[in-house]
Structure formats: structure tokens, C-alpha cells
């Protein structure tokens, strides 16, 4: 029996490999909408997107870039959203 997180939305950083990939696929299987980021592995990120779509997930953003901020800084994910 799987976990049902339908209607939830999740931002997954580092989604092209390793733990980020596993987390993205797990949330996709649970029914979440996903915003995925990757740093340098576009082809691998696209493969993760396709696998998430295979679970029926809504992948509404794939962004490349470094989300690191200085201590005390803020990241506003609206800066990464589609217009």
C-alpha cells in the first residue's frame, strides 16, 4: 500500500541524481505536483521528468541552477516559477 499525497506540491533540489532523484520519484508515485531543479545534468533531469510523468505526476517546473544562498539569505521560489 502506497502513501497518497495527491494535491501536495513539492520542490525537489538535485533531482537529476542520487537522493534528489529518489525523492522526486517517490513523491511522483505518491501523487504530488513537482518542481524539480538540477545543477548540471540536463539529460538526467529530463529522464527523471519523464519517469515522474509516467506516474501521472504534474511536473510544473524544471530549473537549472544553484540555489545556494549566503547565511541569513532567502530564496524565493517564485523567482523560479513559470511566468
Q: Does the predicted model carry a pTM greater than 0.85?
A: no
Q: Is the pLDDT of residue 51 over 60?
A: yes
Average pLDDT over residues 49-60: 93
Supply the pLDDT for residue 78: 62
pLDDT band at 25 (very low <50, low <70, confident <90, very high): very high
- Interval 57-69 mean pLDDT: 77
Across the chain, mean pLDDT equals: 83
Distance CA 46, CA 77 (A): 20
Amino acid at each position: 500500500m502506497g502513501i497518497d499525497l495527491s494535491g501536495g506540491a513539492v520542490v525537489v533540489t538535485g533531482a537529476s541524481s542520487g537522493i534528489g532523484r529518489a525523492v522526486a520519484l517517490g513523491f511522483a508515485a505518491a501523487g504530488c505536483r513537482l518542481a524539480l531543479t538540477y545543477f548540471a545534468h540536463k539529460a538526467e533531469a529530463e529522464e527523471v521528468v519523464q519517469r515522474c510523468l509516467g506516474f501521472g505526476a504534474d511536473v510544473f517546473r524544471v530549473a537549472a541552477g544553484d540555489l545556494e544562498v549566503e547565511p541569513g539569505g532567502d530564496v524565493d521560489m517564485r523567482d523560479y516559477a513559470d511566468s
